Structure 1
Amino acid sequence: MFKLNDIIRPNVLKMKPYSSARDEFKGSANVFLDANENNLGSLAGNNYNRYPDPHQKKLKTRIAEVKGVKPGQIFLGNGSDEAIDLLFRMVCRPGQDSMLHLPPTYGMYEVSANLNDVALQTVQLTEDFQVPVEEVLLNVKPTTKIIFICSPNNPTGNLIEQGGIEDILRAFKGLVVIDEAYIDFADARSWTSRLHEFPNLVVLQTFSKAWGMAGLRLGLAFASEELVSVLDKIKPPYNINEATQELALQALEREEALKDMIEEIVQERELLMEALLSMPVVEHVYPSDANFILVKVGNANEVYNYLLDNGIVVRNRSYLPGCEGCIRISVGTLEENQILLKALVEF
């Protein structure tokens, strides 16, 4: 039986959160002299002289409507990287506890673990980039507090099979974090629909990919209200700036435009994959449920440098275990994709 308090660090359970001026003030007022702001205004305009809502109440309410969850099940971070870091701080004792990840996968899990002095446990994905469930569970130790599963996985692009994730959620007594940064491009239901089933489930999403807001840095973590309340307790008080909150609210009113963009990207992905298969330099194109494609080529370093010399930037993933000889290509516009294909033909 999973109990959140059993895995939260004792010092986190005891700590009191920072109380900001906006936390202490309740009700309405016309004169604000509590937060040492510049009351003359802001050189940036738009009332940016005032601190933003530390709890992002309006934004969470709107996101909850779109995602079909409760506002209390949403944590908003400065990118999903902030949520990843805070999850480590919440449950992992530095120098004592460990996490388990499944390479090839998103590199920030490892970076954040190292930063927080959390030991790395590694179980490699299978040849078809799926989770070897039995091996994962055999490697779980009493010190293992978090398992990270990226689905669709970065850099491989594929969804992780649902049944295997279910088995891990049921058997593991720590947090299972499913990173769904690319879920909008996949024909699959989000794990947010199953939060009520698994108290140890955390789902990460982002506004950086499908929503096209990478420059604004807005990440999401969905979990039980109990878990989210702990993340809120340990986050910086004003971690989401006012401009990001305002622009995200505007974006959330344009769901139809989002659907059109996703449809166009998926169509371009399929056309790009088909074209890549006919290239002599391409040895294999991996299936993708994301907005990028993992491609095995004859000489990844050579191809990468050649494309770079021609003003085309892709990602060289050939040094990652299981991705030998591979480059990762983001799906561009029709014009950008044609420029890429032309360069590969001429390689």
Structure 2
Amino acid sequence: MNIQDLIRPNIKALKPYSSARDEFQGNTDAMVFLDANENPFENGVNRYPDPQQRTLKSILSEIKKVSVKNILLGNGSDEVLDLIFRAFCEPNQDNIIILPPTYGMYEVLANLNAVEIKKVNLNKDFQPRVETILNVANSNSKVLFLCSPNNPTGNSFSKESIENLLKKFNGLVVIDEAYIDFSNEKSWLQRLEEFPNLIVTQTLSKAYGMAGIRLGICYASHEIIRVLNNIKPPYNVNELTQQKAWEQLKQKEVTTYQIKSILEGRDNLISELKQINFVTKIYPSDANFVLVKVDDATKRYNQLIEKGIVTRNRTSQPGCENCLRFTVGTPDENKKLIKELKTLT
């Protein structure tokens, strides 16, 4: 596959914006910066942030065992996904393929970018229907989105299915690994060199506990990263986000402890949910949440709201009729959820 054939012609011809911080890349020690029209009075954030987030990328590179050249950072994963649309999908011409039930922003971003959406619902086990996907794809199918572990179902897609799609789909395959840190399955990061059409997105919003700073991560070939870098806003990740991210990333023991606690909480929650009489099915989860089928999802959702507990009603999603999604909370929050569920009639 030639990635150049997938890039929109106007993006190929685009001359990227060059910021002041891009142009000067020498030693910054003892330098007087009069190049970017900044306020000169130091307050910690009076200077523009590093547009390439070099310090943060180096830390991620060490943790994830991926070269800095294969990393792009965005203002949340949503910006990363939007950049993929802008770089590779021609409006009113190309299409993307999504596999409902799945993360809703794929569809929103497609509509924003005037890109057709082809939907191939997951099978009854919430796995991709590989042959159907390949049959639905055509010469204008630019991107296939795979959310694994999947939101809202919680399960991981089979390795065989993903590998088959990577080999046979004639476009980009984006594997959204927002929940990979809660799964026993291996990340697809280590196979980037094997599949030139592979893009892996991750986030610091889940396992790393930094949803509030909005930092999304894209891993792909140097060729793909270079294209996305050319079209991203020059200072898309602000200084405070960069500082908070690298401070938190260095606290490995905190993240390890919190993931362990969430996984234990997930197991305990599943065990307790089995005792609730109106719970009819509990789906396997590789994420920090559990999808549960109940007798009447809307009724139970509203009852929990009255008890001061907010869950997610997923009953409108394909294959998720009468399903609620419970995020794993703290031990006390999980206990409160189970206590209140047991009182509902």
From 204, 208, 213, the equivalent of 1:207 is: 204
* Dislocated runs of 4+, deviation >6 Å: none
| Aligned mates of 1:26, 1:100 — CA distance in 2 | 40
Structure 1 residue 272, shift from structure 2 partner: 0.1
What amino acid is the match of 2:166? L
What amino acid is the match of 1:184? D
From 84, 87, 92, the equivalent of 2:84 is: 87
Q: How does 1:173-212 map to 2 (within 5 A)?
A: 173-212=170-209
Structure 1 residue 33, shift from structure 2 partner: 1.3
Which residue of 2 is the match for residue 26 of structure 1? 25
Alignment partner of 2:240: what SS?
Answer: helix
| Aligned mates of 1:301, 1:249 — CA distance in 2 | 41
Aligned residues: 342
1:55 aligns with 2:56: no
What amino acid is the match of 2:24? F
Q: How does 1:223-242 map to 2 (within 5 A)?
A: 223-242=220-239
| Aligned mates of 1:55, 1:215 — CA distance in 2 | 21
Which residue of 1 is the match for residue 6 of structure 2? 7
Alignment partner of 1:193: what SS?
Answer: helix
CA RMSD in angstroms, aligned pairs only? 0.8
| Aligned mates of 1:85, 1:30 — CA distance in 2 | 36
| Aligned mates of 1:200, 1:319 — CA distance in 2 | 32
- Identical columns (%): 54
What amino acid is the match of 2:9? P
Which residue of 1 is the match for residue 274 of structure 2? 277
- What do residues 305-344 of structure 1 show as CA deviations (whole Å, max 9, x unaligned)? 1111111000010011110000100000111011111111
- What do residues 127-156 of structure 1 show as CA deviations (whole Å, max 9, x unaligned)? 010001011101111110000000000000
1:132 aligns with 2:129: yes
What amino acid is the match of 2:3? L
| Aligned mates of 1:80, 1:26 — CA distance in 2 | 27
Provide the TM-score with structure 2 as the length reference: 0.98
Could you list the runs of 5+ residues in structure 2 that have no partner in the other structure? none
Alignment partner of 1:307: what SS?
Answer: helix
From 254, 258, 261, the equivalent of 2:258 is: 261
Provide the TM-score with structure 1 as the length reference: 0.97
Q: How does 1:97-176 map to 2 (within 5 A)?
A: 97-176=94-173
Which residue of 2 is the match for residue 38 of structure 1? 39
| Aligned mates of 2:196, 2:82 — CA distance in 1 | 20
| Aligned mates of 1:66, 1:25 — CA distance in 2 | 28
Alignment partner of 1:302: what SS?
Answer: helix
Is the Cα–Cα contact under 8 Å of residues 281 and 344 in structure 1 kept in the other structure? no
Alignment partner of 2:227: what SS?
Answer: helix
From 63, 75, 80, the equivalent of 1:78 is: 75
Which residue of 2 is the match for residue 217 of structure 1? 214
- What do residues 36-69 of structure 1 show as CA deviations (whole Å, max 9, x unaligned)? 111123xxx4x20000000011111110010011
